[in-house]
Chain A
Amino acid sequence: MRQPVQFHPLSRAKPIEHPTLSRKGVYIATRSDLGDGTLQWSLEHLTAVLERSQWELQGFLRGIVGDSEQARDLVQDTCYEACRAAQRGTPPFGSTSSSETDMRRWLFRVGYNRAISALRRRRIIHWLPLEHVRLLISFEDESAEGQDVRAALATLTPQDAACLTLIIIHDFTAAEVGQIVGASPQAVAKRFSRAKQRLREAYLAQDPQLEGRRHP
């Protein structure tokens, strides 16, 4: 007998939804009010969150592993793991007190860990020097700007690139990024600063005009 765990069957959920907004004002989730004062995730809402997070995750993971196809695989693995966690009732998916922010942070953390494992394997098994992993991979964006970013990416550690993307694009706070990459907020700020400076250096090296305007 099929029995959904930790989730309220759709038929019992009242159609009262509570949309929440990210700091950028992007619609990110809804939860259903069961009518007794509690909010609980429905299957449909959970899958909707996962569905909406997929391309966010793909962009984030592409910045770490540098390869779109591998990033897609990692997203699929992460979504699968989320479904399994939800089925087992593992927090944040099995907890009625969890917010969509908690789910999103969980997805990014699991995706990040999988990406780091993939990089580690790539570097170790086909021996590559440290921090040179992403130099040897495909990168489909061959625009001038894409090449600049590619050159910059090669100078960043995967952890630094992750901090950059999570803060600049996904609007996570330093504390949230710390939970995702396993570091203190102070370490995150330091990584972010270092990554941005390296990015700047790579850009200045590519653009002689900017080079001339370098601060004395």
Chain B
Amino acid sequence: MSQQQPTHVADCAAVARLLPLAGHFLLSADESATLDAHVATCAACRAELAVYDRVEAAWRRTFEPCWETPQLVSRRSMMDILTQEPEQNVPSTTLAVPFTPRARPRRALGSLSAVAATLLIVVLMGGILLARGHGSPASGGTGLTTTIAESTLGDVAMVSPTEGWAVGGSSGTASPAKIVLMHYLDGTWTPVNLPIDGYLTSLSMSSPTEGWAVGQVPLTQPTQSAPLLLHYDGRTWKQVAVSAQNGQPAQVQMLSATDGWMVGQGFTQQAAPLGDIWHYDGQTWTAQLLPASLNASIPLQSAYVSRIAMISPTEGWALGGASSITPSTSFILHFTAGSWKVQRLLTGVSVQSIAMVSASDGWITATGTDNAPLLLRYTGGRWVEATASIGNGGTLGRLLDVFMRSATEGWMTCQARDFRGSPTLLHYDGTKWSVSSLPSITSTSTWDIRGITMISATEGWAVGEHEVKSPNYLTLVTPVILHYHNGRWSDYTWQDYLTPSPHGPSIEIPVG
């Protein structure tokens, strides 16, 4: 018997790859016969097969259909659509999607009148935009309008109380997605037509005439993206190449026109994934090495850096973690003396964002074990838990992004929503975090804040997205812009986007 063991083990190794495929017509006849013959004589492989059956049964119990009433879409609603006249003159659903800002979304399926109204709105909006002469010759006003209407905004940066920028991407059914860039000047937000595929996720302006926006261009595979970098020189936004074919920039932070940082994930340069942190010296972006000491705890191939907060050219902080590691592991990096070092490794913690007020004061939002909110504060030269400062954190859900304007003033977004679908926004007054009042944008759908920037203690802007059901039943994601003024957040309505600006900038749109 013992002499047969090596052969038997070899057989086990040979059939191991067949075990997960058993029972679903995924094996050839020969493979099935081989597996059956082996399992009949091997108790260990039979047990292994039983484990596969068990996990498969658990999967089935979790995701098998639950037949409930009422139906998600009623038969009557479907009959209503099917008995309408076909929309033969509408080339795609994209143009048929109505944008009804701040309108109360309806679950019921729409009618032809809604579609007609939509087309009218799209045509009118497109006409207004074209009349402003803001689009490039290659772009139709309707296309731009549709892109803006069906889009989300991810970040905002102000260079003065009267000028700023916001970035995002189209989120409609149009494919490929287009970047969205909004310009604020003298009281009006206007869309800038940049015919570039992709999404912009982060923006940093070092001056009114100098800034960068980063994002990504989705590739064929949903989990792969090519990095997208845009540079503003005071007159034009230009796409800039970076020496990485893949990559997902998460954030950019410019300290000056010749000193900036970018972090993200998935950059590949040569054979090694070196580029999760990049530095700009005024000429080129260069990948920075992650600390080698990280490799002891995290495989660097799966590491990502999601946030950066530079205090000066010589000091800063960054947050990151690793994909596909259980339990989740995060790290805090500290940049001093010209290199990045691991300041702290957090097991079972998922870090979210960081905001530094000074070299001795900063905040980190995170999620701890059991999905509990976790707030860290940098004080006295170390990171300490400060969750108590948010009061009853159990009702806030996950802590998302933190934005600090000074040591005594900051903002933080949380996952929890109120009964109107509004996100939770906390305000820091120097001693504690408390819930801030937000405008009522909708009562039947949800919206989120993605980016905040404060000009002063009494004025700031926030951007995000609003998810609604359109009258014709499709889910739409539309942009949200909020204005903070004298202690109150208000909704910057869609009509304001279309107000002609008498001082609109002349922006050329060279690409590449």
Contacts and interface: CB of A to CB of B under 8 A. Distances in A.
22 contacts: A5-B86, A43-B82, A43-B83, A47-B78, A54-B71, A72-B72, A80-B472, A87-B87, A88-B88, A125-B154, A126-B154, A129-B321, A130-B223, A131-B323, A189-B21, A193-B21, A200-B52, A200-B55, A203-B55, A205-B326, A213-B51, A215-B48
Given A2-B85, A165-B59, A125 B169 contact: yes
B79 A132 contact: no
A189 to B, nearest CB: 5
Interface stretch (A14-22, A32-40, A98-106, A145-153): A145-153
Given A120-B218, A151-B326, A193 B20 contact: yes
A108 interface: no
Contacts of A210: 51
Contacts of A216: 9, 44
Contacts of A159: 222
Contact of B72 (A4, A58, A173): A58
B21 A58 contact: no
A196 B52 contact: yes
Interface in A45-86: 46-48, 50-51, 54-56, 58-60, 62-63, 72-77, 79-81, 83-84, 86
A192 B199 CA distance: 31
A133 B472 CA distance: 29
A127 B201 contact: yes
A199 B75 CA distance: 37
Interface in A1-25: 1-5, 7
| B58, B169, B328, B469: most-surrounded residue (chain A CB, <10 A) | B58
A30 interface: no
A76 B81 CA distance: 13
Contacts of B12: 215
Interface of B: 9, 12, 16-17, 20-21, 24-26, 44-45, 47-48, 51-52, 54-56, 58-68, 71-73, 75, 78-79, 81-88, 93, 109, 152, 154, 168-169, 171, 199, 201-202, 215-216, 218, 222-223, 225, 248, 250-251, 264-266, 304, 306, 321, 323-324, 326, 328, 350, 398, 400, 415, 448, 450, 465, 469, 472-475, 477
B398 to A, nearest CB: 7
Given A4-B82, A83-B82, A124 B201 contact: yes
B494 to A, nearest CB: 19
Interface of A: 1-5, 7, 43, 46-48, 50-51, 54-56, 58-60, 62-63, 72-77, 79-81, 83-84, 86-89, 116, 119-121, 124-127, 129-132, 135-136, 141, 145-146, 148-149, 151-152, 154-155, 157-159, 164-165, 167-169, 173-174, 189, 192-193, 196-197, 199-200, 202-205, 210, 213, 215-216
Q: Main secondary structure on chain B at its contact with chain A?
A: mixed
Q: Main secondary structure on chain A at its contact with chain B?
A: helix
A80 B218 contact: no
A51 B71 CA distance: 7
B450 A4 contact: no
A129 B304 contact: yes
A120 B222 contact: yes
B55 A196 contact: yes
Nearest to B152: A125
Contacts of B83: 2, 4, 43
A59 B65 contact: yes
A102 B20 CA distance: 28
A126 B58 contact: no
